[in-house]
Amino acid sequence: MSFFNTLAPSSNGSCAESDATATRRPRYEVVETEGSYDLTVSLPGVAKDGLEISDEAGELTITGKRTAKLPEGLEVLHRETSDAAFKLVLTHDNTVDAGKIEAELKDGVLRLKLAKAESAKPRKISVS
Amino acid sequence: MRFIQFTQPSARSAAPAVRFGGRFGGAGIENEIDWLFGTALTGFAGTARGGQFPVDLYEDKDNTYVRAELPGANRDAINVEIVDGSLSIQASRKEKSGEGENTVSFSRLVSIPDEVQADKVSAAYENGILTVTLPRKEEAKPKKINVAVN
């Protein structure tokens, strides 16, 4: 039984909508510990006010808008990044206790500690 | 002459179909080692393809701007230098993996189009993005810049 597989990205068809609402999935990593899942998401250029985290119906959604402050009149010589917002949706099927999510955003890296729901933790059953 | 045959255990033959992320509970030690090697070599979710990171280049009439995406880098480990008409960006990031901590380093050489005033170069690191501002004009010889990153 691997709980790691429950925290999987949901298949939200990544079809590009219009340019204004185009999003791309950020790089992320999930590490499972005994009592929680540690989620690290790479969100360069996203500050706290551009970040939204919500949890609903067993799905964790992270949206990050880049606060690109480029002055006017700039000529682009070479671009390897994109200004699209980041969006990450992970399904956890309620193995995560949504009331106890800790999040920290520092230097464009978001670290989330998702405490496992009580029902998901291994439980010892004693025999009388 | 000794002939030694050595076969590597194959992850595919030892376990059923590998699931997302390459991890499958209970599939055996081969998958675990493969997975550990994979994450060790590719670093944080695959960013370090040889220590590369995306870089944007802009310019206006006064400056050339170099913008690099370096999320989570240690501020004091960011090193910006001008060498022979190119800008060298080096940074490192500490990552916790399991019990240990390993350091991933990035390095990239970006060629700058024009001569720049090496002593007026500044850099700022915010939200994981390093922006280096290079004022244009004359530049005679390569010079090492120590940039204070705030």
> Where is pLDDT greater, at A4 or A70?
A70
Q: Given this model, what pLDDT does residue A9 score?
A: 55
Please give the interface size between A and B, counted as residue pairs whose CB atoms are below 8 Å apart: 101
Q: Given this model, what pLDDT does residue B138 score?
A: 54
Q: Given this model, what pLDDT does residue A43 score?
A: 92
Q: Is the pLDDT of residue B75 over 60?
A: yes
Q: Is the pLDDT of residue B137 over 90?
A: no
**Residue of chain A whose Cα is closest to the Cα of B98:** A31
Interface test with A, best of B32, B108, B129, B130 (most A CBs within 10 A): B129
Option in B19, B21, B56 nearest A79 (CB): B56
pLDDT band at A122 (very low <50, low <70, confident <90, very high): confident
pLDDT-above-70 percentage for chain B: 57
Mean pLDDT for chain A? 79
Count, residues in chain B: 150
Average pLDDT over residues B67-80: 88
Q: Structure pTM?
A: 0.65
Q: Is A109 on the interface with B (CB under 8 A)?
A: yes
Contact B53, B70 (CB under 8 A): yes
Q: Which amino acid is at B75?
A: R
Q: Is the pLDDT of residue B95 over 60?
A: yes
Q: Is the pLDDT of residue A11 over 60?
A: no
Q: Is B129 on the interface with A (CB under 8 A)?
A: yes
Burial class (CB in 10 A: 0-12, 13-18, 19+), B90: middle
**Quick one: which of A10, A1, A2, A3 has its CA closest to A91?**
A10
- Element of type H or E holding B1: none
Q: Is the pLDDT of residue A16 over 50?
A: no
- Identify all chain A residues contacting B23, using CB atoms and an 8 Å cutoff: 2, 4-5
Q: Is the pLDDT of residue A57 over 90?
A: no
Q: Which residues, in sequence order, are bridge partners of residue A91?
A: A8, A59
Domains recognised in chain A with CATH numbers: 3-9+20-68+82-115 (2.60.40.790)
User: Of A48-62, B42-56, B82-96, B103-117, which one has max mean pLDDT?
Assistant: A48-62
Query: pLDDT tens across A80-115, in order?
Result: 888 889 999 998 877 888 778 889 998 899 999 988
- Identify all chain A residues contacting B126, using CB atoms and an 8 Å cutoff: 47
DSSP-assigned letters across all residues of B33-89: HHHHHHHHHH-GGG--SSS---EEEEE-SSEEEEEEE-TT--GGG-EEEEETTEEEE
pLDDT band at B114 (very low <50, low <70, confident <90, very high): low
The distance of Cα A53 from the centroid of its chain, to the nearest Å, equals 8
Average pLDDT over residues A119-126: 76
Q: Is the pLDDT of residue A65 over 50?
A: yes
- Identify all chain A residues contacting B46, using CB atoms and an 8 Å cutoff: 27
Q: Given this model, what pLDDT does residue B139 score?
A: 46
Q: Is the pLDDT of residue B23 over 60?
A: no
pLDDT band at B47 (very low <50, low <70, confident <90, very high): very low
Count Cβ atoms below 10 Å from residue A104 Cβ, excluding itself: 9
Q: Given this model, what pLDDT does residue B15 score?
A: 40
Domains recognised in chain B with CATH numbers: 11-42 (no CATH), 47-135 (2.60.40.790)
| Longest CA span, chain B | 71
Contact between B59 and A1 using a beta-carbon 8 Å cutoff: no
Average pLDDT over residues B2-18: 50
